[in-house]
Structure 1
Amino acid sequence: MQSPFKAAELQALLDEMARDAPFPSIDALNARLAQRMQQYNTTPQPELGGLSPDQAAQLLYGDWATVGAFRVTGEAAPEALLAVPFVADARLLMAYLGANGPVKLTPKGNLTRAAVAELAPQLRSEALLEERGGLAPLPVRNEDDVRWLPVLKHILLFGKLATKRKGLLLSARGRALLPEPQVGSLFVELFLTFFRQFDLRYLYSGTPHLGLQQTLPYAFFQIGRTAHDWTPFAPLADAAWLQSARDPFASWERDHPEARFNAFRYRVLEPLVLFGLLERRLLPAAAPYLRRAEYRCTPLYSQLLRFAFDVP
């Protein structure tokens, strides 16, 4: 097993062992090592954003529901949850499937143009898309012309809220979670499916950064500590993105340091806006495409994302 200590700390431990030698027994040596490891594991570490290794482990090795320090809840006012863009859009598509299913799909498995024409104007997620630098909106005909519609469809399928059978159908689970009183449970299902099952690399095709999705509870925890007020996206990403979960710098990232944080922005921050947990604003600039984004937590952040560490 790899040592938890960094090189300098390991050398300091070896020097300490040498000063205290000889130990009366191997058991005494092992006891001293266990004591030092316990001390290290419970001490805040700068590279962990001020968390101890024990706390980081509690965040990273849970299931977000029953095990670990991080929990997703649906414990908020129903009217607030019904206004969450991704929840509202999920309920829109689920209701559409319930009323019209089985909804025909194209040979590629996409919704038909007729379905897209009816659904797209009602999607709240689309209204949150950033300004396109003054360009005219792109025409909407096919499912892939709508940024969040393909994602929404796959989240419903991955979460077993919809199923494919001679078209797209609302599942029994989907019918159970569609009524307004179930919106808290629906939020939890959508959030877990989006961030745990859906491959977030689909949202930004730059550097892979495979470790980012695997360490999201750490990111969520640090966002909650950092973004109490409007915070530029690059410093926020730098504070909330675990250093060890980042790929090495690509050559183009060295020339454009802020662009390195786009993976975090489009895979984490923008989805959290869709889930009503962050809000985004674009700062004034000489041209629309130069506007910088800032984010801050909404009141729902602390209600729906909970963190509780076991004390050793």
Structure 2
Amino acid sequence: MKNSKNSITAKCVAMCVKDMRAFNAVSSEGFRELGQELMHLGAHYGEVNVADVMPHPSTISKHVKEQADAIRNSIMPSVINKTYWCLVNNVLFATKFHDVKKTGINIMKEIEERVADWNITRDMLHSFVFVSDRDANVIQALENHERIPCAAHCISTALSHTVGEGNFFLNTAKYIVRYITKSGFCSSLKSSLKQEVCTRWNSLYTMLESLHIHYNKVAALLTEKDSAYRLKGYDNELHFLRPFKEDTDELEGEKEPTFQRTEHLTVKYSECNFARNTICFSHGLLRKKAVS
């Protein structure tokens, strides 16, 4: 029994490594139910090839959709004509900050003055939940209020502190985009290349994506200058950054609440090993920043 358990452990390790699965996937209810069903199958029919019994991904997708439709159809009659939660967006104010230092005290004073126009008192503000970035002055301003850090901003900050610093491929991509833009070659492209803007979320991904779209044309231009070698390697970075772009887009929904998605992303980032080919990448630092 001990040897069998060691063999199962080795297979679980191999699954997490090969398929990039979270370590606690092996303790999930669904995984254990699947394992138990496979054991029942083996006990009944003897040793069988697992490939003969496992369904195709499209089959799973079809069955999930059918079950979702069935559940949706069963609950919709009770939802129709009844009140349910929805996201309502209202811009209370947008204003230029006064010509004073942006200390925590001054920021809170500005907020109190602006919301007063909506007949919201200082005491009423304590029932509000603020979502903000993690700048020290903002945290100080809201220290006596309930504050939730913006998840999308946390992702962007974590990436900006851990990706790109001394990265040869990313720095080369920035150089290429800058070179193509300043040399006037952009006029020969169907759309312009996007340069990274450090204050914009996912701008590094946007830059690499624009380079990827015009890869053949840019490669031809660089070949003329004997610089085609500089275009290699960026695609790994693009592939790595894409999930973060998708996660940020998911958190930026304006027509439905997205707060419930932050818990899923917290677990995802804390358990993922962030494996990739870039040796200089700080795995631990990104994990720490992403979940904090």
**TMscore range, shorter length:** under 0.3
Q: TM-score w.r.t. structure 2 length?
A: 0.28
Q: Which has the higher strand share?
A: 1
The structure showing larger relative contact order (alpha-carbon pairs under 8 Å, at least 6 residues apart) is 1
**Bigger-Rg structure (1/2):** 2
Q: Which has the higher helix share?
A: 2
